[in-house]
Amino acid sequence: MTTATTTSVSLDVRDVHLAFGPNRVLRGVDLSVPRGATACVIGPSGSGKSTLLRTINRLIEPDRGDVLLDGRSVLGDDPDALRQRVGMVFQQFNLFPHMSVLRNVTLALRRLRKLGADEAETVARAQLELVGLAGKANSRPAQPSGGQQQRVAIARALALRPEVMLFDEATSALDPELVKGVLGVMADLSAAGMTMVVVTHEMGFARQVADTVAFMDRGVVLEAGPPEAIFERAEHQRLRRFLDQVL
Amino acid sequence: MDPLSTLWETFFDADAMREALPEMLTVGLPNTLILAVSAALLGSVLGLLLAVAGISRSRWLRWPARVYTDVFRGLPAAATILLIGVGLAPLGMQVWGPDPYPLGILALSLIAAAYIGEIFRSGIQSVEAAQLEGSRALGFSWADSMRLVIIPQGIRRVLPAWVNQLIALIKDSSLVYFLGLVASQRELFRIGQDYAATTGNESALLLAGLCYLALTVPLTHVVNWIDRRLRNGRPATVSTEEDDDDIPSYAATEGDRR
């Protein structure tokens, strides 16, 4: 298989700035994620967390700053090719409702990776099995529960063998009882050595799984460090206040 | 003869209907279907182009699409058919000869495109932006995302309106009689009208009307059926798998992948 040798890479975000008109959403964001590490990004809504993720895979082009994979800037690369290296999972899953679960996963394999129908299906079924959904391959995406849909979305992103995975509040739209299953898949992926940036409100997940926790506020990473430092010995008043509110 | 009987004779003369029926079914019906279906196909292709141009970021695509739609939706169908059919006849003469049929189809298609374009555009624009983002995040280009993800969903949502347009086309196809068709090209209305004109009896025209209804009424039910299905989703497929709580460890099998 042509895609089986991919491994994760390091990710560096350097001084990224972005403004929508007069609204300066990102004001010099720095974030370093070593190869195989997981960074959880926490912070109040409107702090720029989701926008940051979108500048990493260039769904939104930053005004200034740099994004590096494996030490090399990706801002000059073809954005479509870059996005095949950087998988992304969204809060609302963004599955394609007019296709079966299986076809959601095979579409990019066939059209972008140019795999044959059989090979794409083999890869997709294996990926669905890894997230515990082998039996749902022929369902429509709206039929599985929200938690299953999100696991399909994760399988769809992983099928392309990304080198980095971005999670944008992947469990925020789920009913509480479904959150655990999705977080479990994410924790396993982290343990397996995927480089991940996880925007989340799940502080328990951040504490247990993250190598680095970055607190974003008003468009900058105000404080970053290992989970115990962030959760037990926060330096900034704003971070302490945020943690008081969410914990 | 009393007035009621005269009325009955005028509209429901069984002999007159029987006389017109064979030609109605063998000539009129096929021609009406050819006109309507060809115009629906060509109009849908043009309409899709108009829809995509209409939501383009380039004003050089957006504006012509807007103007086209305003003009062809704003003109009476009869005027457009005459303008195209008569106006382009010299050109048609050079390309395919004196046959007005292709120009009739073209005129109907151009009118239909304006309506279908608006139908498709509203459908495409109703697809959530998140779908485009999901597709782009996988590495699909804008064009591929539109083609594979956005347009198929958008068109599905407006299928009922599209079928309504097909119904309108079946009815509007009667207007090409303006263009002076030869006997074998006459559609339902023209055949009914010819019989009515020669016999002074409207029964054949009423028969033509019944033929239109036989085409359009079932289609309105198709619209309702599609509408219901789109609202309620397709019938659920039976799933026997019970894998909801069975989440195998990703890490456990990871070694095989690398």
Which ipTM did the prediction report?
Answer: 0.92
- Per residue in B13-66, pLDDT (tens digit) is 988 899 999 999 999 999 999 999 999 999 999 999 999 999 988 999 999 999
- When pLDDT is averaged across residues A157-175 and rounded to a whole number, the result is 95
Best of B124, B126, B138 to disrupt the A interface (most A CBs within 10 Å) is B138
Following CA atoms A132, A40, A30, A173 in sequence, which dihedral angle do they give, to the nearest 10 degrees?
Answer: 70
Can you tell me the mean pLDDT for B184-193?
Answer: 92
Taking 60 as the threshold, does the pLDDT of residue A5 lie above it?
no
| pLDDT beyond 50 at B228 | yes
The token pair that represents B247 in the structure block? 């989440």
Q: What is the pLDDT of residue B98?
A: 81
Q: What is the pLDDT of residue A160?
A: 95
At residue B243, the pLDDT reads 40
For residues A15-26, give the mean pLDDT.
96
DSSP assigned state of A196: E
Phi, psi at A53, each rounded to 5°: -55, -40
Residue A192 has pLDDT above 60, yes or no: yes
Is the pLDDT higher at B242 or at A30?
A: A30
Per-residue pLDDT band for B234 (boundaries 50, 70, 90) equals low
pLDDT band at B233 (very low <50, low <70, confident <90, very high): low
The per-residue pLDDT for A2 is 31
Nearest chain A CA: its distance from B215 CA (Å): 30
User: Where is A164: in which H helix or E strand?
Assistant: strand A164-168
Compare CB distances from A185 to B139, B247, B258 and report the shortest one's residue. B247
What confidence category does residue B237 fall into, taking pLDDT thresholds of 50, 70 and 90? very low
pLDDT of B77-124, one tens digit each? 999 999 999 899 888 888 888 888 899 999 999 999 999 999 999 999
How many A/B residue pairs have CB atoms within 8 Å?
111
Between residues A5 and A220, which one has the greater pLDDT?
A220
DSSP per-residue codes, A17-70: EEEETTEEEEEEEEEEE-TT-EEEEE--TTSSHHHHHHHHTTSS--SEEEEEET
Q: Which residues in chain B are closer than 8 Å to A145, comparing Cβ atoms?
A: 244
Confidence of residue A170 (pLDDT cuts 50, 70, 90): very high
A37 phi and psi angles, rounded to 5 deg = -90, 160
pLDDT of amino acid B257: 34
If you average pLDDT over every residue of chain B, what do you get? 87
SS3 B186: coil
Confidence tier at A3 by pLDDT (50, 70, 90)? very low
Give B226's pLDDT tier (boundaries 50, 70, 90). Answer: confident
Q: Do A140 and B248 touch (CB under 8 A)?
A: no
Cβ contact (<8 Å) for B134 and A140? no
d(CA A82, CA A75): 9
What's this model's pTM, rounded to 2 decimal places?
0.84
Q: Which residues of A touch B149 (CB under 8 A)?
A: 96
In whole angstroms, what is the distance from residue B168 CA to residue B79 CA?
A: 16
- pLDDT, average across residues A33-42: 97
CB-CB neighbors (< 8 A) of A191 in chain B: 250-251
Q: What is the pLDDT of residues B71-85, one digit of tens each?
A: 999 999 999 999 999
| Nearest alpha-carbon partner for B12 in B251, B223, B209 | B209
pLDDT band per the 50, 70, 90 thresholds, residue A55: very high
Averaged pLDDT, A185-208:
96
Query: pLDDT value at position B239?
Result: 41
Is residue B247 scored above 60 in pLDDT? no
Half-sphere exposure of B167 (CA within 13 A, CB side): 17
Per-residue confidence band for B252, with pLDDT thresholds at 50, 70 and 90? very low
Whether chain A has a CB inside 8 Å of the CB on B234: the answer is yes
Residue B251, pLDDT score: 39
| A32 pLDDT above the threshold of 60 | yes
Of the pLDDT bands very low, low, confident and very high (cuts 50, 70, 90), residue B180 is confident
What would the pLDDT profile of B122-151 be if each residue is shown by its tens digit?
999 999 999 999 999 999 999 999 999 999
How many Å apart are CA A12 and CA A32, to the nearest integer? 5
- List, in sequence order, the alpha helices (H) in chain B: 3-12, 14-23, 29-54, 59-74, 77-87, 89-96, 101-126, 129-137, 142-145, 151-157, 159-172, 188-199, 203-232, 250-257
Q: What is the per-residue pLDDT for B212?
A: 96
- Which of A108, A148, A191 is closest, CB to CB, to B138? A108
